[in-house]
């Protein structure tokens, strides 16, 4: 890079093998995020925890991920992203393995805190790599997000088979084992499994958020500087607030409120992620054709009528069907949300930007199980499930306001350009 250049390092256009490795690594990383919820009923039983205490355990884990993501996101703009990711995987797997050996709950939580630091390294670096390489479209983000859901389905299937024959300590090792393998591969084979940083040579992609913004414009040109990206992140956080608490307690809800067995409930939760695979893949492609904002608003809006259905008394066979639809709509938002934020952030370093996104959503994910547990202790599990719709609806309204503000800004910019011409 020439002296005095301020262009941030980005990545080379990844060959297909690297793209596959990136998706496989995403699947391995997402296992850590969902390593506790499937075994939560067993942890509740062994340690005699209340719902709020169990939610607090998940909250501690996700809070550390949130804080660390903001730091590792900035770090990924300054060091080799592949090496950073490899070390994160190895640290996370080693710490989860240690947690499985600890006899006391405080020691288990301490090990999970260390694991959370390692977990935080992946998403900011990977999202930034996709965007900086010019791959920040719905199809790529859709495949990336779908890989996480597929990995969780496989983990839930294995845990469902092992349920009744293995305790929670053995089951969390199932979730941590793939990360150890991926970490070693990234560390030992950097040529095939990492992204080499270089200066950008390709022309910027045209934005798909709508309107007439020119490629490469800073956010202040039409997106209101930092305000609209910040409001958009708030809208995303509200959706996460409603859904993450529910997702973390779905196994417990199906066992204790619906009456499903532990093994069956693990398989039933997999339907959420099965729907997520379809939602990310299908709606990611739709976002390339129709733009990310319409897709985001449609799918997040459909969650509002779907979530209250889970809180109703229904035949047990209907719960997996509703979970498929919830998973579809939630994951369908993810490719669009990454496309939108990548464009709204303008020329800012993408590792830092996506680090803030992951930190904000992880922090919200940390609060949501605790809030869900408090409501469940006070009013019951079904009431807690029905309450999840409130923040989801509020988040939809915030994103709708951002979209309307952008439309007005783009219209004003177009009119000004036409007048000056």
CB proximity list for 404: less than 8 A, separation 6 or greater: none
* HSE, side-chain direction, 13 A CA sphere, residue 55: 28
Confidence class for position 71, pLDDT limits 50, 70, 90 = confident
* HSE, side-chain direction, 13 A CA sphere, residue 278: 13
Least confident of 4-18, 78-92, 122-136, 384-398: 4-18
Confidence class for position 302, pLDDT limits 50, 70, 90 = very high
Give residue 306's pLDDT. Answer: 93
Give residue 16's pLDDT. Answer: 60
Instruction: Report the range out of 118-132, 135-149, 292-306 with the highest average pLDDT.
Output: 292-306
404 to each of 228, 397, 410, how far by Cα in Å?
Answer: 11, 11, 10
Cβ atoms of residues 170 and 97 within 8 Å: no
Cβ atoms of residues 159 and 41 within 8 Å: no
Q: Which CATH class is domain 10-414?
A: mainly alpha
Cβ atoms of residues 124 and 355 within 8 Å: yes
Burial code (b: 16+ CB inside 10 Å, e: under 16) for 267-301 equals: bbbbbbbbbbbbbbbbbbbbbbeebbbebbbbbbb
For the chain, give every domain's residue range: 10-414
Cβ atoms of residues 114 and 95 within 8 Å: yes
Residue 40 reports pLDDT greater than 60: yes
């Amino acid at each position: 890079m020439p002296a005095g250049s301020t262009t941030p390092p980005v990545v080379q256009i990844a060959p297909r093998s690297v793209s596959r490795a990136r998706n496989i690594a995403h699947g391995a990383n997402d296992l850590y995020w969902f390593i506790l919820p499937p075994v939560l009923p067993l942890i509740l039983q062994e340690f005699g925890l209340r719902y709020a205490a169990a939610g607090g355990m998940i909250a501690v884990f996700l809070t550390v991920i949130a804080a660390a993501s903001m730091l590792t996101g900035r770090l990924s703009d300054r060091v080799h992203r592949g090496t950073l990711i490899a070390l994160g995987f190895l640290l996370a797997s080693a710490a989860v393995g240690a947690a499985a050996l600890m006899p006391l709950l405080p020691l288990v939580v301490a090990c999970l805190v260390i694991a959370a630091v390692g977990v935080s390294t992946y998403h900011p670096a990977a999202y930034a790599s996709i965007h900086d390489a010019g791959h920040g479209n719905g199809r790529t983000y859709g495949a990336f997000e779908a890989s996480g859901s597929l990995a969780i389905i496989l983990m839930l299937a294995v845990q469902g088979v092992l349920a009744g024959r293995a305790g929670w300590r053995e089951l969390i090792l199932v979730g941590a084992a793939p990360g150890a393998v991926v970490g070693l591969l990234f560390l030992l084979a950097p040529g095939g499994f990492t992204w080499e940083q270089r200066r950008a040579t390709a022309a910027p992609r045209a934005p798909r958020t709508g309107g007439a913004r020119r490629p490469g414009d800073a956010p202040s040109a039409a997106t209101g500087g930092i305000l609209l990206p910040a409001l958009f992140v708030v809208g995303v956080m509200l959706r996460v607030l409603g859904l993450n608490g529910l997702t973390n307690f779905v196994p417990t809800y199906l066992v204790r409120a619906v009456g499903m067995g532990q093994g069956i409930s693990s398989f039933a939760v997999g339907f959420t992620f099965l729907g997520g695979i379809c939602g990310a893949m299908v709606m990611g492609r739709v976002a390339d054709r129709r733009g990310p904002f319409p897709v985001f608003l449609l799918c997040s809006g459909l969650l509002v009528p779907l979530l209250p259905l889970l809180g109703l008394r229904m035949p047990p066979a209907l719960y997996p069907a509703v979970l498929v639809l919830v998973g579809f709509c939630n994951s369908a938002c993810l490719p669009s949300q990454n496309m939108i934020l990548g464009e709204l952030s303008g020329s800012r370093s993408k590792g830092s930007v996506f680090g803030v996104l992951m930190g904000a959503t992880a922090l919200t994910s940390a609060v949501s199980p605790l809030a869900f547990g408090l409501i469940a202790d006070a009013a019951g599990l079904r009431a807690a499930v029905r309450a999840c719709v409130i923040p989801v609806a509020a988040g939809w309204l915030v994103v709708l306001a951002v979209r309307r503000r952008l439309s007005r800004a783009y219209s004003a910019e177009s009119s000004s350009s036409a007048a000056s011409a």
